[in-house]
């Protein structure tokens, strides 16, 4: 048994609500959670009311049911997303007190394994298309949003197949508490120190005024990522339209910015499995020319990778480049979580699809056309894939023509 488990769980929930989402008095909190995450969702709801939330709504999901619908439902029906789905968010977003959202992940990485990948991908695209006006609230940081995780038996058993279910869940809890800095019993204080470190690196990156970053590794990666005009490096904390600071991801180790969608050249190899829609893409690579992916391959689920890249034109370009040292607690744990929330914080990554408008100067106030003119990518998807290795070397090229070492041997050297 994890010592003082109940107390750590309560601290984790409180940290998620007070620092992660940073629920403000009068706001409605919408929690999206699988039924396996009910214990954490309830604690978060209680904590949100204590923080002054006007109301808390929980949207429950069930992976087993999702699988049944994907398998047996007609694609036409599954893609027919009714307007109320969008209104169920906008009604709160447009209300006086406003809204904030918490997504609790407890996904079984194989929930949809073996199903028609094209159908799964098209259904999820249809939903994204229908919810696009709401998505702009989170992509633009108009409202506070946060993603955090808790173990489900299926997820834990996937990671630790040799353990019994209860032991596997406990082991995954231990890892989540460790990597989310809860184990020490004072997550708020530990996060203040962590955020200060990340902010320092972010400031140093911004001071360099880089035109591009060049990734190299013995695995064959040789990738130059040109940056969007006015690109700004960001780290853990974001600020909403109303000036509320929040943490979009728990945990977070990254310092990231926007590539220029047409200025990425070379080849890059994936270094961790890429989980998409309940299926795993392994040992992939992609080749870029003028920012566009012109060639790709994968040892497993190559066709699914193709489906993802064919979502729309923007899916063939990248919208994020993020730096994470190999010494991150998630990577040091030695565990592949098979969940992007954790795995993206174990390694440098890029994202197929949309960029975050906030990663170009003043970007959240710009129109789509103005963002495109700066080289900011647009797409229905934003899919993080891991490219950092233990030997990753990153060299920055400044706009005034200097070369600066940023990573060596997988670590920050700035
Ligand atoms: Zn990222
Ligand atoms: Zn991302």
Residues 360-378 have pLDDT tens digits of 999 989 999 999 999 999 9
In the predicted model, what is the mean pLDDT of the chain? 95
The ligand with the least distance to the CA atom of 345 is 1
Write down the pLDDT at residue 306. Answer: 96
Rounded Cα gap, residues 306 and 316, in angstroms: 10
Rounded Cα gap, residues 263 and 355, in angstroms: 14
Ligand 2: distance of its center to the CA of 165 in Å?
A: 31
pLDDT beyond 80 at 278: no
Task: Return the SS3 of 388.
Answer: coil
pLDDT beyond 80 at 409: yes
Ligand 2: distance of its center to the CA of 38 in Å?
A: 26
Task: For residue range 7-40, list pLDDT tens digits in order.
Answer: 999 999 999 999 999 999 999 999 999 998 999 9
The predicted model gives 206-226 an average pLDDT of 98
- The one-character DSSP state at 410 is T
Rounded Cα gap, residues 281 and 308, in angstroms: 11
Write down the pLDDT at residue 2. Answer: 78
pLDDT beyond 90 at 402: yes
The predicted model gives 92-112 an average pLDDT of 91
Ligand 2: distance of its center to the CA of 326 in Å?
A: 18
Enter the tokens of residue 330: 């998630």
Write down the pLDDT at residue 346. Answer: 94
Are 148 and 98 in contact by the 8 Å Cβ rule? The answer is: no
The predicted model gives 337-346 an average pLDDT of 90
Band of the pLDDT at 223, cuts 50, 70, 90?
Answer: very high
Write down the pLDDT at residue 177. Answer: 95
Ligand 2: distance of its center to the CA of 410 in Å?
A: 19
Ligand 1: distance of its center to the CA of 360 in Å?
A: 15
DSSP H or E run through 237:
none
Ligand 1: distance of its center to the CA of 256 in Å?
A: 6
Ligand 1: distance of its center to the CA of 71 in Å?
A: 31
Q: What phi, psi does 239 have (nearest 5°)?
A: -125, 130
Ligand 1: distance of its center to the CA of 394 in Å?
A: 17
Count of CB atoms situated within 10 Å of the CB of 108: 22
* HSE toward the beta carbon, residue 290, CA cutoff 13 A: 0
Ligand 2: distance of its center to the CA of 288 in Å?
A: 19
Rounded Cα gap, residues 348 and 67, in angstroms: 31
- H-only helix segments in 51-164: 63-72, 75-78, 83-93, 117-130, 132-139, 153-159
Instruction: Describe the strand order of the beta sheet including 382-386 as a list of residue ranges.
Output: 255-257, 318-323, 349-353, 382-386
The ligand with the least distance to the CA atom of 352 is 2
Q: What is the pTM of this model?
A: 0.86
The ligand with the least distance to the CA atom of 354 is 2
The predicted model gives 161-168 an average pLDDT of 96
Residue whose tokens read 């599954």 = 78
Ligand 2: distance of its center to the CA of 86 in Å?
A: 23
The predicted model gives 263-267 an average pLDDT of 98
Ligand 2: distance of its center to the CA of 385 in Å?
A: 8
**Nearest CA to 143 among 188, 90, 88, 106?**
90
State what percent of residues in the chain have pLDDT above 70: 100
Write down the pLDDT at residue 84. Answer: 96
In this structure, is the dihedral angle defined by the CA atoms of residues 177, 179, 182 and 188, taken in order, positive or negative?
A: negative
């Amino acid at each position: 048994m994890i010592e003082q488990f109940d107390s750590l769980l309560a601290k984790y929930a409180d940290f998620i609500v007070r620092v992660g989402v940073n629920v403000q008095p009068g706001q409605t909190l919408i929690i999206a959670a699988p039924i396996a995450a009910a214990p954490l969702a309830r604690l978060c709801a209680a904590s949100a009311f204590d923080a002054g939330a006007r109301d808390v709504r929980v949207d429950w999901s069930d992976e087993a049911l999702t699988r049944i619908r994907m398998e047996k439902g007609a694609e036409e029906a599954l893609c027919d997303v009714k307007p109320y789905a969008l209104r169920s968010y906008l009604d709160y977003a447009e209300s006086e007190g406003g809204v904030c959202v918490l997504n609790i992940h407890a996904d079984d990485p194989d929930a949809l394994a073996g199903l028609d990948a094209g159908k799964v991908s098209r259904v999820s695209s249809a939903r994204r298309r229908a919810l696009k006006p709401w998505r702009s609230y989170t992509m633009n940081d108009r409202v506070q949003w946060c993603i955090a995780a808790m173990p489900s038996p299926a997820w834990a058993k996937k990671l630790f197949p040799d353990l019994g279910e209860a032991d596997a869940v406990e082991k995954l809890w231990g890892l989540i508490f460790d990597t989310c800095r809860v184990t020490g019993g004072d997550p708020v204080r530990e996060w203040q120190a962590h955020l200060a470190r990340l902010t320092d690196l972010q400031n140093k990156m911004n001071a360099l005024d880089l035109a591009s970053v060049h990734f190299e590794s013995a695995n064959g990666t040789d990738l130059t990522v040109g940056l969007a005009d006015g690109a700004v490096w960001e780290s853990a904390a974001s600020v909403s339209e109303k000036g509320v600071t929040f943490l979009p991801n728990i945990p977070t180790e990254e310092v990231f910015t926007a590539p220029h969608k047409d200025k990425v050249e070379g080849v890059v190899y994936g270094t961790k499995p890429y989980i998409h829609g309940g299926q795993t893409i392994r040992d992939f690579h992609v080749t870029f020319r003028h920012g566009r992916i012109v060639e790709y391959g994968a040892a497993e689920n190559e066709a699914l990778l193709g489906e993802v890249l064919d979502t729309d034109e923007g899916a063939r370009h990248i919208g994020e480049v993020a730096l994470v040292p190999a010494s991150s607690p998630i990577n040091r744990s030695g565990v592949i979580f098979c969940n992007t929330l954790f795995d993206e914080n174990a390694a440098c990554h890029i994202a197929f699809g949309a960029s975050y408008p906030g990663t170009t100067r003043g970007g959240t106030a710009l129109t789509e056309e103005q963002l495109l003119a700066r080289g900011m990518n647009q797409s229905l998807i934003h899919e993080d894939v891991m490219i950092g290795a233990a030997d990753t070397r990153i060299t920055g090229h400044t706009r005034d023509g200097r070369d600066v070492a940023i990573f060596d041997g997988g670590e920050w050297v700035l």
